Amino acid sequence: MEIIKALGIDNYWVLIAQFVNLAVLLFVLYKFAYGPMMKMLDERSAKIAEGIKDAEKANKKLEETESREKDVLNKAKKEAKKIIAAAEEIAEKNKAEILENSKMEADEIFRKAEEKIEEEKNKLREELKKETIELVMMATEKVLKEKIDSDKDKEIIEKVVKN
């Protein structure tokens, strides 16, 4: 055929060579370029999707923890208020008790002191009595210049003093 020769496709070895060339080009690019490239792109888009998912999760978690934190804070505040109130109550009670106790103690001390004073007073009085008696005895002895019987003397003096 004239046209086949004119177009230069009469040598089938050339056509086969051209086909082989094209096939090698397609194979190399498919095997070593597009395949890995598309895989990589897919992997990356999967990674990005995962990243977005993770970010959403993290956001959710953050919100949750924030609300939980608020709850905890509120609870803690309430508890603290309760504790303070209880402490105040206890302190009030303690104050009253301590006041009462101290009052009682003071009373006791006061009473004891009075008792002691009374006792001392009595002791002093007794001593004074004794001394007076001795003094009177001495005086009377001196006055009488004469000592009768010591027992009789004492008797007499006691009589005098009593009267």
Partner 1 sequence: MELNISLAPEILFKIGSFPVSNSFFWMVVVSISLMILILTIRYKFKQVPGRTQAAFEILIEGGLDFVQSIIEDKDIAKKVFPLVFTLFLFIMLANLITFIPGSAVVLESGEGKVSLFRAVMSDYGIVIVMTLVAVITAQIVAIISFGPFGYLGKYFNFSGMKEFFSELFRGKLKFGLLAQGFLDIFLGLMDIVGEIAKIVSLSFRLFGNIFAGEVLGMVMLFLMPWFLPLPFQFLSLLTAVVQAFVFAVLTLMFISLALKIDDEDLNEKATV
How far is Cα 18 from Cα 107, in angstroms, rounded to an integer?
A: 127
- Closer to partner 1 by Cβ: residue 7 or 143: 7
Of the candidates 1, 13, 150, 151, which one interacts with partner 1 according to CB under 8 A?
13
Of the candidate spans 4-12, 79-87, 118-126, 132-140, the one that interacts with partner 1 by CB under 8 A turns out to be 4-12
DSSP notation for 116-162:
HHHHHHHHHHHHHHHHHHHHHHHHHHHHHT----HHHHHHHHHHHHH
Of the candidates 36, 68, 113, 117, which one interacts with partner 1 according to CB under 8 A?
36
Dihedral pair phi/psi, residue 74, rounded to 5° = -60, -45
Q: Does 7 bind partner 1 (CB under 8 A)?
A: yes
Provide the residue count of the chain: 163
How far is Cα 134 from Cα 155, in angstroms, rounded to an integer?
A: 13
- Closer to partner 1 by Cβ: residue 30 or 110: 30
Which residues in 37-76 contact partner 1 (CB under 8 A)? 37-38, 40-41, 44
- Closer to partner 1 by Cβ: residue 26 or 90: 26
Pick the closest to residue 9 from 28, 19, 82, 160 (CA basis): 19
Query: What type of residue sits at position 38?
Result: M
Binding track over 96-135 against partner 1, x by CB under 8 A: ----------------------------------------
Cα distances (angstroms) measured from residue 150 to each of 50, 132, 156: 128, 17, 10
- Closer to partner 1 by Cβ: residue 32 or 110: 32
- Closer to partner 1 by Cβ: residue 10 or 92: 10
- What residues line the site for partner 1 (CB under 8 A)? 5-9, 11, 13-15, 17-19, 21-22, 24-26, 28-30, 32-38, 40-41, 44
